[in-house]
Amino acid sequence: MDARFSAADEAFRDEVRTWLEENLVGEFAELRGRGGSGDLAGAVELRRAWERRLAAGGWTCVGWPQAFGGRGLELSQEVIFNEEYARARAPGRLGHIGETLLGPTLIAFGTAEQQRRFLPPIVRTDELWCQGYSEPNAGSDLGNVQCRAERDGEQWVVTGQKVWTSLATISDWCFVLCRTDPTAAKHRGISYLLVPMQQPGVEVRPIRQITGTAEFCEVFFDGARTDVANVVGAVHGGWQVAMGTLAFERGASTLGQQMMFAGELDQVIAAAKANGAAKDPVIRQRLADAWIGLKIMRYNALRILTAAAGGAALSREALVTKLYWATWHRDLGKLAMDVLGARGEIRTSGAIDDYEIDELQRLFLWTRADTIYAGTNQIQRNIIAERALGMPREPGAAGKG
Ligand SMILES: Cc1cc2nc3c(=O)[nH]c(=O)nc-3n(C[C@H](O)[C@H](O)[C@H](O)COP(=O)(O)OP(=O)(O)OC[C@H]3O[C@@H](n4cnc5c(N)ncnc54)[C@H](O)[C@@H]3O)c2cc1C
């Protein structure tokens, strides 16, 4: 494994860093650190403007092939872009679901017409997307989706409920897993539909979280419509496409995420030094452990990405990634609270109905979600047991949302 970056990569790093320094200024300066853990829907209007600035600079969809409007970056440079973006504390991306999930899915499975229609607005950041997988009885057991779509002439009519749909309030489109053949076996008879959100048959109800913010939502489809052309992959063949989308969930953004984690760990260390918690021997051990965990994550990510760039796949090693970072991040949240001590349990505002919390409190509350979304810890262990250790599949095969 050679995890070093080349001279050309380092020159590219300078270019990214310079662009961010020159552009994260003026009104955008206040976006530094926004839109991250527990603040996904914060400062939306200014972040929309920031998305447009990124697009104008050619810094959206950087890993997509140029033929689809991307920058066509090599994996190493995509990693560098994500690292520098996080290092600059540039705001969390509003368009990340379209850019990292739907776009790559359309590039892999979409028709030429779907690619022409939907990819350019993602690159320009004109259209935002949300992911309509989970339902009240279909989370880990994603194959159990009950939301249905029925053909009516040249349209599909969608009826049912989705839940935990992140950023649905600001999304223009949703990719929705629907049951289109109720007579087929569980994982068959599902189709992957692209559904416009701004229409009478769609109702979005935000769900308030323990962070006090409402980033995910219930989405009710009641006779919502979409054109027949808006099925990705084969009709009734949506399961394969849905699994393809999930495979795009990780990858080059991993190291950027770790850079963000490093920034959070720095904040926890600074708090420990400031309030004297750093003198507590157990806290010191846990801080050191957190730092070590971050290094392990980095080296594992680098060896996986280095292998991938060389055309190989360290698939067994990649299986531990989500479980490891989610658990690490949840533990960091707990550590932050233990560093703050009793003060961590007090809101920063005294008003009863005010939910003012500080960054470390928000980190703690938000990180409770990490071991749930994108496949719970239990599901990750099932996957490791089956795919890495060759153990028998459990009776009800599990998916995720
Ligand atoms: C912050 C956040 C954002 C999200 N955003 C989206 C989104 O944008 N779009 C979307 O579609 N979904 C989204 N989700 C939903 C997420 O994908 C689901 O919460 C997740 O798949 C788990 O499903 P569930 O909540 O129904 O829990 P369940 O599947 O009901 O699980 C409940 C518990 O049972 C355990 N369990 C379930 N099955 C097994 C098994 N076979 N073996 C062992 N243990 C098992 C689980 O690990 C968990 O502890 C989001 C969730 C969160 C927390």
Output the CA 57–ligand 1 centroid distance in Å: 37
Q: What is the pLDDT, as a whole number, of residue 293?
A: 98
The DSSP symbol for 400 reads -
Nearest residue (CA) to ligand 1, atom 37: 140
Question: What are the catalytic residues?
Answer: 249
The torsion region of residue 118 among left (phi > 0), alpha (psi -120 to 50) and beta comes to alpha
Query: Mean pLDDT lowest for which of 36-45, 115-124, 156-165?
Result: 36-45
* pLDDT of 39: 81
The pLDDT of residue 399 is above 50 = no
Give pLDDT, residue 157. 98
Which of residues 174 and 304 earns the better pLDDT score?
A: 174
CA of 200 to the centre of ligand 1 (A): 28
Lowest mean pLDDT among 141-145, 269-273, 345-349: 345-349
Has residue 185 got a pLDDT over 50? Answer: yes
Q: For 113-130, what is the mean pLDDT?
A: 98
What is the average pLDDT across 329-341?
A: 97
Atom of ligand 1 at shortest distance to CA of 369?
Answer: 53
Q: Is beta strand 190-196 parallel, antiparallel or unpaired with respect to 173-179?
A: antiparallel
- Chain-centroid distance of CA 333 in Å reads 19
pLDDT of residue 211: 85
388 pLDDT above the threshold of 80:
yes
Ligand 1 pocket list (CB less than 6 A): 130-134, 139-140, 164-166, 216, 369, 372-373, 376, 378-379, 382, 394, 398, 400-401
Complete DSSP assignment for 30-66 = GGTTTTSTT-TTTTHHHHHHHHHHHHHTT-SSTTS-G
Query: What is the mean predicted confidence (pLDDT) over 139-154?
Result: 97
Rounded to the nearest 5 percent, the helix, strand and coil shares of the chain are 50, 15, 35
Question: What are the chain's domains?
Answer: 7-94 (1.10.540.10), 129-237 (2.40.110.10), 253-388 (1.20.140.10)
Atom of ligand 1 lying closest to residue 374 CA: 17
pTM, rounded to two decimals: 0.94
Q: In this structure, what token pair is assigned to residue 329?
A: 């991040």
Q: Which helix (H) or strand (E) segment is 209 a member of?
A: none
Mean pLDDT of the chain: 92
Q: What is the pLDDT of residues 321-334, one digit of tens each?
A: 999 999 999 999 99
Q: Which atom of ligand 1 is nearest to the CA of 142?
A: 21
CA dist., res. 192 & res. 178, Å (int): 6
Lowest mean pLDDT among 120-124, 183-187, 209-213, 238-242: 209-213
The region of weakest confidence among 117-131, 146-160, 305-319 is: 305-319
Please give the pLDDT value at position 40: 82
pLDDT in tens, 295-320: 999 998 888 888 877 777 777 888 89
Which backbone phi and psi does 2 adopt, to 5 degrees? Answer: -120, 100
pLDDT value, residue 316: 83
Least confident of 44-48, 79-83, 335-339: 79-83
Calculate what percentage of the chain has a pLDDT beyond 90: 75
